[in-house]
Amino acid sequence: MAPILSLYSMPCQTARHNSQALSMDPSRLHVTGYDSPASLPANSVKYINVTNKCKDMQTEENGGEYVDTKIWEILEINRKTDLRGRIHAGENYHEKEIKVFVSDVDQEPEKCKSYLLLPKSIFTEVRKTRIKDQIGDPLKVQKNGDIWTTQKDKFVKIFVRK
């Protein structure tokens, strides 16, 4: 009996190592031969120089979030929370929707187009919840302008919906 692989063998056509068929790709990079350098078309700069600085931070090993600056405005507060976990944002933000991120280090978030990137290894969003490991409601600004974060002596980044 013949080996099993020989039963399924079909004649096929192969290309030589320097064939143009092996070098076709969407950006039209053509290799002309084994020892020949690659030749780039004149419009290839738009393919090579385009880099996506906005990474999908959810798939990175550190994880993270991003905030759209078209929707959210960062408050220029360069202070830490006090020993009770409170920071003063201002009375005029009382009924506004806010996002609060805390960090152990004073680091500015990276900007990419209209997004601010906040890696989870540095910034942590603080939300109101009584059950551990459960996402709660966003924090609120009190009538006197204070925000209670429960995070003591941390650097804070506050975003307000426009």
pLDDT in tens, 56-81: 444 444 466 889 999 999 998 888 99
Is 42 part of a structural domain of the chain? yes
| 68 lies in the same domain as 124 | yes
Q: How confident is the model at residue 46, as a pLDDT?
A: 45
Instruction: Quote the Cα angle for 43-44-45, to 5°.
Output: 95
Q: Is 81 inside any structural domain? A: yes
For 7-28, the pLDDT digits (tens) are 544 554 444 455 555 555 545 5
In this prediction the pTM is 0.61
| Structural domain contains residue 8 | no
Q: Which residues contact 50 (CB under 8 A, 6 or more apart)?
A: none
Predicted confidence at residue 53, as pLDDT, reads: 45
Number of structural domains found in the chain: 2
Q: Is residue 5 a part of any domain in this protein?
A: no
Same domain, 22 and 70: no
Which residues of the chain have a pLDDT value below 50?
6, 8-9, 12-16, 26, 31, 44-62
Domain identity same for 73 and 145: yes
The answer on 152 and 72 residing in a single domain is yes
**87 shares its domain with 32:** no
Residues 46 and 71 in one domain: no
Q: What is the pLDDT of residue 129?
A: 79
Per-residue model confidence (pLDDT) at position 79: 86
Name the β-bridge partners of 30.
39
> Are 46 and 70 members of one domain?
no
Give CA separation, 80 vs 12, 40, 43, 87, in Å: 70, 53, 50, 7
Q: Which domain holds residue 33?
A: 18-50
Asked if residue 86 lies in contact with residue 149, where contact means CB atoms within 8 angstroms, the answer is yes
Residues 68 and 115 placed together within one structural domain of the fold: yes
Residues 85 and 36 reside in one and the same domain: no
Dump strand ranges (E) for 2-123.
64-68, 72-74, 86-88, 98-103, 110-112, 115-119
Q: Are residues 69 and 149 in the same domain?
A: yes
pLDDT at 135: 78
